[in-house]
Amino acid sequence: MHSPKWALLLIIISSLFSSGLCLDFLETAKSDEFFSWMVGIRRKIHENPELGYEEYETSKIIRNELGRLGIEYKYPVAVTGVVGYVGTGAPPFVAARADMDALAMQEMVEWEHKSKVPGKMHACGHDAHVTMLLGAAKILKDNSHLLKGTVLLVFQPAEEGGGGAIQVVESGILENVRAIFGLHVSPDLPVGQVSSRSGTLLAGSGFFEAVITGKGGHAAIPQHSIDPVLAASNVVLSLQQLISREADPLDSQVVTVAKFQGGGAFNVIPDSVTIGGTFRAFSKETFLQLKRRIQEVIIGQATVQRCSATVEFSSKDKPFFPATINDNGLHEFFQDVAGDVLGPSNVKTMLPLMGSEDFSVYQEVIPGYFYFLGMKNKSNKNPASVHSPFFEVNEDILPFGAAMHASLVANYLTEIQKLDEKHHDEL
């Protein structure tokens, strides 16, 4: 039995913890030993990038680190994913997510820890995302006696178009989870700042591919052929008019044709041309309207040029993603916690972006909040954008991401327990 003095101390500690001031998670993560540990993990992952659903070595690194920390985990989840558990093992449950996959790109940055795998690169910061969640895992494990429930650490495969979040949800692993948090590095924000917004943050996205078929022949006698290159060219131009002539200027939309393949000789008109691309919108209604018109334009323009066309949209390998919509109730909570960790002046509100994130899949089934973590500093005034072969992660951000993850989930458990107790008392 604790003495009254000890009981009072526990109450004080609990009160400080609930306000985000009990433990300075950021200072812990900034310590030399902790920071060096995270840098080592991040560089190991960066040197060995793996594409969606191929993250076996990345998953092994995660499992090894969780094992060293004494954190229980479930594997495999969604083929290569890992979910760790920290806390009481009992409700309430909250989750933090990091994506694991790399991109099919050749890294052009020359440095000691450059990708060792030709044609593959961590060009979107997922190596840092994994590292920061492992950092949060260490912080939370060291302070698990203060957690008022259980944190799920979701290491998700295949964010880059593969629909890894869909498989995580379908696995049932998030059943009874009350909320989920996620972040993404941003080369446009300064180190130590975060940015997000309530409501719609990122667009819904889909992919399309069309085969336009004509009649091949000699390029010198085009009258004997039906030219699919001409038809496809008209399709590309007409698709752009969907935005300039049909879209509400106040309802942002994007259609981009990024693939155009046909023929292999200068003097031969090919039988067919394949085009493909992506389309984005902020609302489901606009997204479906855009999808319908893309199909109509491709088939219609091909017909005008005496060609035929088939159109396929997002497949199992490249599924549709809904818009990323932050829970309004979590927005104020995020601002309070981020303000405690980083200072209120470093918590910014941003405009929506046309990029997309499969984190949105989680938000369709449980309240979720997604935000951006800055990594620009004075020595890197014009950093390369994500998905660039020259993209570089500023490792100074690792402590900030670890502290933010840990602070959000820990404080959420405290707040949700208070709400549950109040609701129980009212009943």
Residues annotated as binding site for Mn(2+)? 124, 126, 160, 184, 387
The DSSP output letter for 21 is -
23 to 29, 87, 335: CA distances (angstroms):
11, 16, 18
220 to 79, 223, 270, 420: CA distances (angstroms):
52, 9, 13, 78
Give the residue ranges of the annotated binding site: 124, 126, 160, 184, 387
Strand partners, 226: 215
CA distance 278 to 32: 44
Q: What is the 3-state secondary structure (H, E, C) of 117-140?
A: CCCCECCCCHHHHHHHHHHHHHHH
Please check whether residue 311 is in contact with residue 295, taking contact to mean a CB–CB distance below 8 angstroms. yes
Please check whether residue 160 is in contact with residue 101, taking contact to mean a CB–CB distance below 8 angstroms. yes
- In DSSP notation, 363-382 reads HTTS-EEEEEEEEE-TT-SS
The DSSP output letter for 187 is E
The DSSP output letter for 223 is G
213: its two tokens: 């078929």
